[in-house]
Structure formats: C-alpha cells, structure tokens
C-alpha cells in the first residue's frame, strides 16, 4: 500500500474494553476485517466514537496496534492522538507512527482556554514530530474552542497537515473553507455535516462512527458522490441520515456499540460513567438498521 492520499469512508472505530480494562483484541480484529471486507477505504481508531478520553495510555496503544495488525496494510490506518499537553500528544503520535499508522488524527483537549497561537503550536508540534500526513480535528461541540478560518489557513501551511475534519455540523463553514483554501487543505466530513454535501463542496470523504454499523451503505454513498450521481446519492443520504439522528438522541458510543452488538460484534458497553442504551434506544437502533438493509 503506497497510498499517500486519504479519501473515502473511514469509520471511527469503537474501542471494545472488557470489565477488567482489557482491550478485546479478537473482537476488534474481527470488526476491522469485517469493515475492510465491506469496502471501507480506511480506519480511524481513537476518534470520538473510540472513546479515547476514557482510555489509559496503554489501552490506547493496544487499540492502535491491534487495528494496524488487523488491517494488515489493506487500508490506511489514521490513528487519533489527543491530550491537553503538547508533549504527551507528540509522544503518542511518534509511538503510533512506529506501530505502523499511516496518518495521525490530531485532537486537542484543553483544560484552560487557549489563544490561536497556542492552538497552532499544539497542532504544528504534532505534525512536526512525525512524517505522516496529519488530519486536524475541529469539534466545537465537545471541545473548548472552534478553529476559525484564519487559523485553519495557518495550519494548512504546515507541510504535512493535509486534512481537516470539521464536526461543527455547520455545512456553510466548510463551504467558506473550500472557497478560500481550495486544495490547500482537504476536507473530511463528520456525520453531522451531511457527508454528501461536503462531498459536493469538494470534500474527500468522511470520518465518522456510523460507518461502523452501515459500512456498505456508506461506501455506496461515497461512490455515488464520486460519480456525481447526485439524485441517487441524495436518496441514500437521506435514508442513512437516520443513524445520525439516533445517535444524536441517545449518545454516540452507546449507539454504535449497541448496533455492533446487534450485528454480532460483542464490543461491550460504553465506558462508565457513560451508560448503555435503554430499551427505547435499543429498539430505535434496531429499527434504523433494519430500514437500511
């Protein structure tokens, strides 16, 4: 695999952890193989769906290692790094590069508020610590900052910062970025921004949790978009959006983990203090999955 350009559907993998804290390696391996067999174009362990914030450093490393081994070079693996400390995040990135990751998804979880220069220093330091392509992650819903377009432009000038994943759900912002930066940074959609529309704006794909439970439909949607078959794509986008609606209602990790369990992957519950889906949520996940078969 000589792939340097990431494009397509990259599921945000869940992190299956048993009650004693051990990563369920076999389950994760099976899931990875299943997703690749279903046609996904890459894999992203330790994204938000991967509950990275709930894992120890050791659990994170294990998850990344297992995913890389199971992927076996068939698709690129873009591993998530996240910490409040620049130094710790860089060490994660270096470690995951050594483990064989093909790219880094750089996430910032600050405690004290940061200014643009400080945010820039975090992301550029991670990029500087590895030779891999870096995806910068912006998620104003769950973090304490929202990358502005000026700052994104500065980050785009860092040589190996080549992608932006924006989870703001504000499709218009991605249009502003596409108009201003063109090919200087490539856009990955989140679920919340309606992936089809981000594709229409020149996006290269999406990184999101729902692709774990509807991988074939996601790949099909991607291919319709690439072929500019907009009317068919729109129909599929509208149907598959229901997965997004359900997880916004019941919680991301809870829904994706429940859906995978229904599909024969015993990935376990979301990590406490998160709680598993209640019956109503479980029923709704079932119904949505059935409607998409």
DSSP state of 271: P
Q: Which residues contact 286 (CB under 8 A, 6 or more apart)?
A: 262
The nearest distance, CB 102 to its own copies, in angstroms, is: 25
Give the per-residue SS3 of 61-81. HHHHHHHHHHHCCCCCEEEEE
Residue found by looking up tokens 């129909």 in the block: 235
Q: Return the SS3 of 85.
A: coil
Asked if 262 is part of the footprint of its own copies (rule: CB under 8 A), the reply reads no
Q: Return the SS3 of 144.
A: coil
Asked if 53 is part of the footprint of its own copies (rule: CB under 8 A), the reply reads yes
Closest CA to 207 of 87, 35, 92: 35
Q: What does the buried/exposed string (b/e) look like for 234-244 if buried means 16 or more CB atoms within 10 Å of the residue's CB?
A: bebbeebbbbb
Question: Which residues in 73-102 contact its own copies (CB under 8 A)?
Answer: 83-88
How far is residue 177's CA from residue 170's CA, in Å, rounded to a whole number?
11
Determine the interface stretch with its own copies among 66-74, 203-211, 237-245, 277-285 (rule: CB under 8 A).
237-245
The nearest distance, CB 200 to its own copies, in angstroms, is: 6
Asked if 203 is part of the footprint of its own copies (rule: CB under 8 A), the reply reads no
Question: Which residues in 124-143 contact its own copies (CB under 8 A)?
Answer: 125, 142
Asked if 272 is part of the footprint of its own copies (rule: CB under 8 A), the reply reads yes
The nearest distance, CB 34 to its own copies, in angstroms, is: 25
Among 7, 94, 114, 262, binds its own copies (CB under 8 A): 114
- How many residues belong to the chain? 293
Determine the interface stretch with its own copies among 27-35, 71-79, 96-104, 174-182 (rule: CB under 8 A).
174-182
The nearest distance, CB 266 to its own copies, in angstroms, is: 19
How far is residue 162's CA from residue 155's CA, in Å, rounded to a whole number?
9
Among 14, 40, 55, 75, binds its own copies (CB under 8 A): 55
Q: Return the SS3 of 56.
A: coil
If the CB atoms of residues 138 and 191 are measured against its own copies, the closer one turns out to be: 191
As a whole number of Å, the end-to-end CA separation of the chain is 31
Determine the interface stretch with its own copies among 96-104, 208-216, 224-232, 256-264 (rule: CB under 8 A).
224-232
Strands 161-166 and 78-83, how do they pair?
unpaired
Count of residues that interact with its own copies, criterion CB under 8 A:
64
How far is residue 3's CA from residue 84's CA, in Å, rounded to a whole number?
31
Among 29, 34, 154, 197, binds its own copies (CB under 8 A): 197
Q: Which residues bind its own copies (CB under 8 A)?
A: 21, 48, 51-57, 83-88, 108-112, 114, 117-119, 121-122, 125, 142, 144, 169-173, 175-176, 178-179, 191-194, 197, 200-201, 228, 230-231, 234, 237-238, 241-242, 244-245, 248, 251-253, 271-275
């Amino acid at each position: 695999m000589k792939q340097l350009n990431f494009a397509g559907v990259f599921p945000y993998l869940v992190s299956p952890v048993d009650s004693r804290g051990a990563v369920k390696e076999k389950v994760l391996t099976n899931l990875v193989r299943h997703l690749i067999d279903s046609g996904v174009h890459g894999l992203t362990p330790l994204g938000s769906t991967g509950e990275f914030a709930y894992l120890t450093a050791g659990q994170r490393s294990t998850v990344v290692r297992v995913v890389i081994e199971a992927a076996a070079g068939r698709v690129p693996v873009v591993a998530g790094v996240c910490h409040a400390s620049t130094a710790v995040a860089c060490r994660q990135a270096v470690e995951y590069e050594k483990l064989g990751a093909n790219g880094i998804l750089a996430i910032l979880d600050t405690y004290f508020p940061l200014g643009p220069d400080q945010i820039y220093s975090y992301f550029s330091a991670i990029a500087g610590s590895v030779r891999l392509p870096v995806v910068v992650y912006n998620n104003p819903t769950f973090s304490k900052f929202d990358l502005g377009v000026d700052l994104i432009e500065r980050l785009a000038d860092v040589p190996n910062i080549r992608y932006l994943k924006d989870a703001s759900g504000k499709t218009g912002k991605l249009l502003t970025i596409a108009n201003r930066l063109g090919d200087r940074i490539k856009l990955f959609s989140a679920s919340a921004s309606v992936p089809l529309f981000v594709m229409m704006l020149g996006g290269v794909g999406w990184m999101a949790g729902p692709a774990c439970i509807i991988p074939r439909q996601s790949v099909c949607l991607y291919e319709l978009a690439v072929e500019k078959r907009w009317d068919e794509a729109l129909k599929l986008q509208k149907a598959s959006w229901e997965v997004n609606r359900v997880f916004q209602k019941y919680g991301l990790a809870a829904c994706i983990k429940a859906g995978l369990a229904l599909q024969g992957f015993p990935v376990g519950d979301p990590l406490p203090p998160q709680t598993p889906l209640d019956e109503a949520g479980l029923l709704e996940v079932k119904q949505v999955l059935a409607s998409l078969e």
